[in-house]
């Protein structure tokens, strides 16, 4: 094996692992020397001033840093715990606030039903909650949580908000299905409250997207009917009790025959946000008898 010859101009480098080993021994020796001898007297005092003292200052600084860091970590842990507790309180308050808003909304609905009940106090009624509905944006057909066990029967009238919703078309022991007046196959015999002129109110889901339903066959030869007039169920209706508010005339058009008029009605009920309804426990046929 040929000897390693150091070329001229090459710098001497010490491997890092040897350098670390030497520094470790040096530091250990200084620590032992500091604790076991009095180096701050005699000829070593000069050397100690330049070696041991800075080393001890460095150790003290490191110790202080670690101590402060430990205190900071403790404070951070406390802040994290406080933050989690505050988050839980915020969540609880949010849930409570939502519950209160829901209670207030339900109270408003119940007040409206109570007011509606007072307006038609000649009829016996029962309250019910909607538990299902057909697909779509509006309550044109839905199911309530009362049925034959509660005295409900087919063709009983259903109200909510300020007026007529529809009628019951099917009944089970503890449920009933309601078809509303905005359904495509719904037709209601109605009249103008101010003039008693009769008309037919027809449901139309596409039309209700604009917030109205249509009416036709209005005979108004004296032109007494105007926009804003109240429309109620008529006495000649075979399914609906008389005098229940349907809505208000929004548009009147003269038909091509010049004998009748047609147009649009704004319903008194919001068919997009129904939750509770009133069912009149009487039928048109029973009242007439």
What's the count of helices (H) and strands (E) in the chain, helices before strands?
A: 5, 12
pLDDT at 36: 52
How would you classify residue 139: left for phi > 0, otherwise alpha for psi between -120 and 50, otherwise beta? beta
Q: At what angle do helices 16-36 and 52-119 cross, to 10 degrees?
A: 100
| Long-range pairs for 58-67: beta carbons < 8 A, 24 or more residues apart | none
Q: Which CATH superfamily is domain 125-288 in?
A: Rod shape-determining protein MreC, domain 1 (2.40.10.340)
> What are the structural domain ranges in the chain?
125-288
Q: Output the pTM of the full model.
A: 0.63
- pLDDT tens-place values along the chain, 289 residues long: 445 455 555 555 656 666 666 767 766 666 665 555 554 455 555 555 555 556 556 666 666 666 677 777 778 888 888 888 888 878 777 777 666 666 555 656 656 666 767 778 888 899 999 999 988 889 999 999 999 999 999 999 999 988 999 999 999 999 999 999 999 999 999 999 999 999 999 999 999 999 999 999 999 988 999 999 999 999 999 899 999 999 999 999 999 999 999 999 999 999 998 989 999 999 887 655 5
pLDDT at 55: 58
Q: Is 121 helix (H, G, I), strand (E, B) or coil?
A: coil
pLDDT at 49: 54
In sequence order, the β-bridge partners of residue 190 are: 199, 233
In sequence order, the β-bridge partners of residue 230 are: 248
pLDDT at 35: 53
CA separation for the pair 37, 17 (Å, rounded):
30
Q: Apex CA 217: angle with CA 215 and CA 219, to 5°?
A: 115
């Amino acid at each position: 094996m040929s000897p390693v010859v150091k070329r001229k101009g090459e710098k001497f480098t010490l491997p890092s692992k040897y350098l670390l080993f030497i520094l470790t021994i040096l530091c250990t020796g200084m620590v032992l020397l500091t604790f076991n001898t009095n180096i701050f007297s005699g000829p070593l005092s000069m050397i100690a001033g330049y070696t041991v003292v800075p080393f001890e200052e460095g150790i003290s600084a490191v110790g202080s840093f670690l101590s402060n860091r430990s205190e900071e970590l403790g404070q951070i842990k406390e802040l994290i715990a406080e933050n989690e507790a505050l988050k839980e309180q915020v969540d609880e308050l949010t849930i409570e606030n939502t519950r209160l808003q829901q209670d207030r909304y339900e109270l408003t609905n119940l007040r409206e039903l109570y007011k509606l009940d007072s307006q038609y106090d000649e009829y016996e009624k029962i309250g019910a909650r909607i538990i299902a509905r057909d697909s779509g944006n509006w309550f044109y057909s839905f199911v309530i949580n009362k049925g034959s066990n509660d005295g409900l029967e087919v063709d009983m009238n259903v109200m909510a908000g300020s007026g007529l919703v529809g009628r019951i078309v099917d009944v089970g022991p503890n449920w009933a299905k309601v078809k509303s007046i905005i359904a495509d196959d719904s037709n209601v015999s109605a009249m103008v409250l101010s003039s008693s002129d009769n008309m037919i109110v027809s449901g139309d889901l596409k039309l209700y997207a604009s917030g109205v339903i249509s009416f036709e066959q209005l005979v108004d030869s004296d032109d007494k009917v105007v926009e804003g007039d109240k429309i109620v169920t008529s006495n000649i209706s075979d399914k609906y009790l008389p005098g229940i508010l349907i809505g208000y005339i929004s548009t009147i058009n003269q038909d091509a025959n010049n004998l009748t008029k047609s147009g649009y009605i704004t319903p008194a009920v919001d068919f997009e946000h129904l939750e509770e309804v009133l069912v009149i426990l009487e039928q048109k046929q029973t009242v007439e008898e």
